[in-house]
Structure 1
Protein backbone atom coordinates (compact mmCIF):
# COMPACT_ATOMS: atom_id res chain seq x y z
CA UNK A 1 0.00 0.00 0.00
CA UNK A 2 1.30 3.44 -0.83
CA UNK A 3 1.85 6.06 1.82
CA UNK A 4 -1.30 7.91 0.78
CA UNK A 5 -3.30 4.74 1.35
CA UNK A 6 -1.83 4.36 4.81
CA UNK A 7 -2.66 7.97 5.61
CA UNK A 8 -6.28 7.48 4.54
CA UNK A 9 -6.62 4.30 6.60
CA UNK A 10 -5.09 6.04 9.64
CA UNK A 11 -7.40 9.02 9.14
CA UNK A 12 -10.46 6.79 8.92
CA UNK A 13 -9.41 4.85 12.01
CA UNK A 14 -8.86 8.11 13.90
CA UNK A 15 -12.25 9.41 12.85
CA UNK A 16 -13.91 6.20 13.97
CA UNK A 17 -12.13 6.25 17.33
CA UNK A 18 -13.06 9.90 17.86
CA UNK A 19 -16.68 9.24 16.97
CA UNK A 20 -16.88 6.27 19.33
CA UNK A 21 -15.30 8.17 22.21
CA UNK A 22 -17.50 11.19 21.59
CA UNK A 23 -20.61 9.07 21.62
CA UNK A 24 -19.61 7.09 24.67
CA UNK A 25 -19.03 10.22 26.74
CA UNK A 26 -22.06 12.12 25.43
CA UNK A 27 -24.80 12.72 28.02
CA UNK A 28 -27.56 10.93 26.10
CA UNK A 29 -29.74 7.90 26.56
CA UNK A 30 -28.08 4.57 25.82
CA UNK A 31 -30.41 3.80 22.94
CA UNK A 32 -29.63 7.15 21.29
CA UNK A 33 -25.92 6.58 21.80
CA UNK A 34 -26.14 3.10 20.30
CA UNK A 35 -28.06 4.42 17.30
CA UNK A 36 -25.44 7.11 16.67
CA UNK A 37 -22.64 4.59 17.13
CA UNK A 38 -24.25 2.22 14.63
CA UNK A 39 -24.67 5.07 12.14
CA UNK A 40 -21.05 6.14 12.57
CA UNK A 41 -19.81 2.58 12.10
CA UNK A 42 -21.98 2.20 9.03
CA UNK A 43 -20.52 5.40 7.57
CA UNK A 44 -17.01 4.17 8.34
CA UNK A 45 -17.77 0.85 6.66
CA UNK A 46 -18.99 2.65 3.55
CA UNK A 47 -15.88 4.85 3.48
CA UNK A 48 -13.63 1.80 3.77
CA UNK A 49 -15.60 0.02 1.04
CA UNK A 50 -15.25 3.02 -1.30
CA UNK A 51 -11.51 3.25 -0.61
CA UNK A 52 -11.09 -0.48 -1.24
CA UNK A 53 -12.94 -0.15 -4.56
CA UNK A 54 -10.63 2.72 -5.55
CA UNK A 55 -7.57 0.64 -4.68
CA UNK A 56 -8.91 -2.32 -6.67
CA UNK A 57 -9.51 -0.07 -9.68
CA UNK A 58 -5.97 1.30 -9.41
CA UNK A 59 -4.53 -2.22 -9.18
CA UNK A 60 -6.54 -3.31 -12.23
CA UNK A 61 -5.23 -0.32 -14.18
CA UNK A 62 -1.68 -1.15 -13.13
CA UNK A 63 -2.18 -4.79 -14.12
CA UNK A 64 -3.36 -3.76 -17.58
CA UNK A 65 -0.36 -1.46 -18.06
CA UNK A 66 2.09 -4.16 -16.96
CA UNK A 67 0.47 -6.76 -19.22
CA UNK A 68 0.62 -4.39 -22.18
CA UNK A 69 4.29 -3.65 -21.51
CA UNK A 70 5.15 -7.35 -21.16
CA UNK A 71 3.29 -8.21 -24.36
CA UNK A 72 5.11 -5.43 -26.22
CA UNK A 73 8.50 -6.66 -24.96
CA UNK A 74 7.63 -10.27 -25.80
CA UNK A 75 6.65 -9.23 -29.31
CA UNK A 76 9.96 -7.42 -29.79
CA UNK A 77 11.89 -10.45 -28.52
CA UNK A 78 9.93 -12.70 -30.86
CA UNK A 79 10.80 -10.45 -33.80
CA UNK A 80 14.50 -10.48 -32.86
CA UNK A 81 14.52 -14.27 -32.53
CA UNK A 82 12.73 -14.67 -35.88
CA UNK A 83 15.24 -12.33 -37.54
CA UNK A 84 18.16 -14.29 -36.07
CA UNK A 85 16.68 -17.59 -37.26
CA UNK A 86 16.21 -16.23 -40.77
CA UNK A 87 19.76 -14.83 -40.84
CA UNK A 88 21.34 -18.11 -39.77
CA UNK A 89 19.19 -20.36 -41.90
Structure 2
Protein backbone atom coordinates (compact mmCIF):
# COMPACT_ATOMS: atom_id res chain seq x y z
CA UNK A 1 0.00 0.00 0.00
CA UNK A 2 1.38 3.40 -0.84
CA UNK A 3 2.02 6.05 1.77
CA UNK A 4 -0.59 8.35 0.19
CA UNK A 5 -3.31 5.70 0.43
CA UNK A 6 -2.50 5.16 4.11
CA UNK A 7 -2.68 8.88 4.77
CA UNK A 8 -5.98 9.13 2.91
CA UNK A 9 -7.52 6.30 4.92
CA UNK A 10 -6.29 7.84 8.16
CA UNK A 11 -7.72 11.24 7.17
CA UNK A 12 -11.08 9.68 6.33
CA UNK A 13 -11.19 7.85 9.66
CA UNK A 14 -10.24 11.00 11.54
CA UNK A 15 -12.91 13.00 9.68
CA UNK A 16 -15.54 10.38 10.40
CA UNK A 17 -14.61 10.31 14.08
CA UNK A 18 -14.73 14.09 14.36
CA UNK A 19 -18.06 14.23 12.55
CA UNK A 20 -19.53 11.52 14.75
CA UNK A 21 -18.24 13.25 17.87
CA UNK A 22 -19.75 16.60 16.87
CA UNK A 23 -23.04 14.92 15.97
CA UNK A 24 -23.22 13.27 19.36
CA UNK A 25 -22.30 16.46 21.23
CA UNK A 26 -25.05 18.44 19.53
CA UNK A 27 -27.70 15.72 19.84
CA UNK A 28 -30.48 16.35 22.38
CA UNK A 29 -29.60 13.43 24.70
CA UNK A 30 -28.90 13.19 28.42
CA UNK A 31 -25.27 13.56 29.51
CA UNK A 32 -24.91 9.89 30.42
CA UNK A 33 -26.30 8.84 27.03
CA UNK A 34 -23.95 11.25 25.24
CA UNK A 35 -20.93 9.91 27.17
CA UNK A 36 -21.96 6.33 26.32
CA UNK A 37 -22.20 7.22 22.63
CA UNK A 38 -18.82 8.95 22.71
CA UNK A 39 -17.25 5.91 24.40
CA UNK A 40 -18.80 3.60 21.79
CA UNK A 41 -17.53 5.84 19.01
CA UNK A 42 -14.01 5.83 20.46
CA UNK A 43 -14.11 2.05 20.92
CA UNK A 44 -15.29 1.60 17.33
CA UNK A 45 -12.56 3.90 16.03
CA UNK A 46 -9.96 2.05 18.08
CA UNK A 47 -11.11 -1.30 16.66
CA UNK A 48 -10.97 0.10 13.12
CA UNK A 49 -7.43 1.38 13.65
CA UNK A 50 -6.29 -1.93 15.15
CA UNK A 51 -7.80 -3.81 12.22
CA UNK A 52 -6.17 -1.46 9.72
CA UNK A 53 -2.82 -1.71 11.50
CA UNK A 54 -2.93 -5.52 11.40
CA UNK A 55 -3.80 -5.43 7.67
CA UNK A 56 -0.86 -3.14 6.93
CA UNK A 57 1.45 -5.28 9.08
CA UNK A 58 0.44 -8.46 7.25
CA UNK A 59 0.88 -6.72 3.89
CA UNK A 60 4.40 -5.62 4.82
CA UNK A 61 5.31 -9.09 6.12
CA UNK A 62 4.03 -10.63 2.91
CA UNK A 63 6.04 -8.26 0.73
CA UNK A 64 9.24 -8.87 2.69
CA UNK A 65 8.66 -12.61 2.55
CA UNK A 66 8.23 -12.49 -1.24
CA UNK A 67 11.32 -10.29 -1.62
CA UNK A 68 13.36 -12.70 0.52
CA UNK A 69 12.20 -15.67 -1.55
CA UNK A 70 13.03 -13.83 -4.80
CA UNK A 71 16.48 -12.95 -3.49
CA UNK A 72 17.17 -16.53 -2.38
CA UNK A 73 16.01 -17.82 -5.74
CA UNK A 74 18.34 -15.44 -7.58
CA UNK A 75 21.27 -16.49 -5.38
CA UNK A 76 20.52 -20.19 -6.04
CA UNK A 77 20.29 -19.53 -9.77
CA UNK A 78 23.56 -17.61 -9.75
CA UNK A 79 25.36 -20.33 -7.83
CA UNK A 80 24.04 -23.13 -10.04
CA UNK A 81 24.93 -21.12 -13.14
CA UNK A 82 28.44 -20.49 -11.85
CA UNK A 83 28.88 -24.24 -11.15
CA UNK A 84 27.90 -24.93 -14.76
CA UNK A 85 30.38 -22.33 -16.01
CA UNK A 86 33.07 -23.73 -13.73
CA UNK A 87 32.69 -27.15 -15.36
CA UNK A 88 32.93 -25.56 -18.83
CA UNK A 89 36.12 -23.73 -17.86
CA UNK A 90 37.68 -26.91 -16.44
CA UNK A 91 36.81 -28.83 -19.62
CA UNK A 92 38.31 -26.10 -21.80
CA UNK A 93 41.49 -26.02 -19.71
CA UNK A 94 41.82 -29.81 -19.83
CA UNK A 95 41.38 -29.71 -23.61
CA UNK A 96 44.06 -27.02 -23.96
CA UNK A 97 46.37 -28.95 -21.65
CA UNK A 98 45.98 -32.07 -23.81
CA UNK A 99 46.73 -30.00 -26.93
CA UNK A 100 49.85 -28.51 -25.30
CA UNK A 101 51.07 -31.94 -24.21
CA UNK A 102 50.58 -33.21 -27.76
CA UNK A 103 52.43 -30.19 -29.16
CA UNK A 104 55.26 -30.64 -26.65
CA UNK A 105 55.67 -34.30 -27.66
CA UNK A 106 55.80 -33.45 -31.36
CA UNK A 107 58.39 -30.71 -30.86
CA UNK A 108 60.44 -32.97 -28.61
CA UNK A 109 60.84 -35.67 -31.24
TM-score clears 0.5: yes
Counterpart for residue 76 of structure 1 = 77
The TM-score, its normalising length taken from structure 1, stands at 0.85
Measure the CA separation in 2 of the matches of 1:27 and 1:55. Answer: 39
In the alignment, structure 2 segments of 5+ residues that lack a partner are: 91-109
Measure the CA separation in 2 of the matches of 1:20 and 1:81. Answer: 65
Counterpart for residue 30 of structure 1 = 31
The TM-score, its normalising length taken from structure 2, stands at 0.71
CA RMSD of aligned residues (A): 1.6
- Where relative contact order (Cα < 8 A, 6+ residues apart) is larger, the structure is 1
Counterpart for residue 16 of structure 1 = 17
Runs of 4+ with >3 A deviation: 83-89
In the alignment, structure 1 segments of 5+ residues that lack a partner are: none
